[in-house]
Amino acid sequence: MENEINQIIKQVKKGNKDAFGVIIDAYERRIYQHCYRLLGSFHDAEEVTQEAFVKAYTKIHTFKNKQKFSPWIYRIATNTAVDWMRKKKPLYILDQPIAVGENITYLDHVKNTSETPEETIEQKENQDEMQQFLLQLPSKYRVVLVLRYMDELSIKEMSEVLDLPIGTIKTQLHRGREALRELMHGRAKGGQ
């Protein structure tokens, strides 16, 4: 699989856009899921996925043929999503809980007043409880948890995606899980 992809990338480097279509087919679903888990919005996930693929195409010459493609594309998608979070902050705050420990967001208040098609999407998003918890975490913890559990990457692959040593990845994963535990079980971290 990786070998085939690297062959296709040689074609893309020569300027073959159809070859890039094959890459999109192979990774689109995974990258979209990754972006959705990081951003918590279908619209944003779609936009960021597209942006990430366009970036991958324009930067394809920086991809070395000995490299593995999947960590490379996850890395671009992650960076694009984190940039997006920074830029979108004012709107993004609407999804955040009003007070710590409560799961009611500003959007929940707005929702009670009217019913629009957009809201059915929002509701669908809210059904996924884990997503709501993830969105409350600092982005660096969210990124490691999503890569590990939603994208099902190994620790080694994660260290390639984030360009961090394996030890650091493990520490962040532990802290991320602790932060999530505090959110889900509403209990302060004991004794540390």
The residues of the shown chain that bind other proteins, judged by CB under 8 A, are 13, 15, 17, 20-21, 24-25, 28-29, 32-33, 36-37, 42, 45-46, 49-50, 53-54, 57-58, 61, 128-131, 145, 148-150, 170, 173-174, 177-178, 180-181, 184-185, 187, 190-192
Phi (first) and psi of residue 105, to 5 degrees: -105, 170
Cβ distance to other proteins smaller for residue 114 or 192: 192
Phi (first) and psi of residue 97, to 5 degrees: -65, 150
Query: What minimum distance in Å lies between the beta carbon of 33 and other proteins?
Result: 5
Cα–Cα distance list, 20 to 2, 51, 97 (Å): 15, 14, 40
Query: What minimum distance in Å lies between the beta carbon of 87 and other proteins?
Result: 18
Cβ distance to other proteins smaller for residue 58 or 114: 58
Cβ distance to other proteins smaller for residue 70 or 172: 172
49, 39, 132, 143: which is closest to 88 by C-alpha?
39
Determine the residue type at 61: H
Cβ distance to other proteins smaller for residue 110 or 166: 166
Query: What minimum distance in Å lies between the beta carbon of 57 and other proteins?
Result: 5
Query: What minimum distance in Å lies between the beta carbon of 113 and other proteins?
Result: 26
Q: Which residues is 97 bridged to in the sheet?
A: 105
The residue written with tokens 């559990």 in the block is 149
Query: What minimum distance in Å lies between the beta carbon of 174 and other proteins?
Result: 4
Query: What minimum distance in Å lies between the beta carbon of 75 and other proteins?
Result: 18
Cβ distance to other proteins smaller for residue 5 or 109: 5
The residue written with tokens 């004991």 in the block is 190
Cβ distance to other proteins smaller for residue 109 or 124: 124
112, 165, 107, 157: which is closest to 135 by C-alpha?
107
C-beta neighbour count of 18 within 10 angstroms: 9
The residue written with tokens 């942006």 in the block is 51
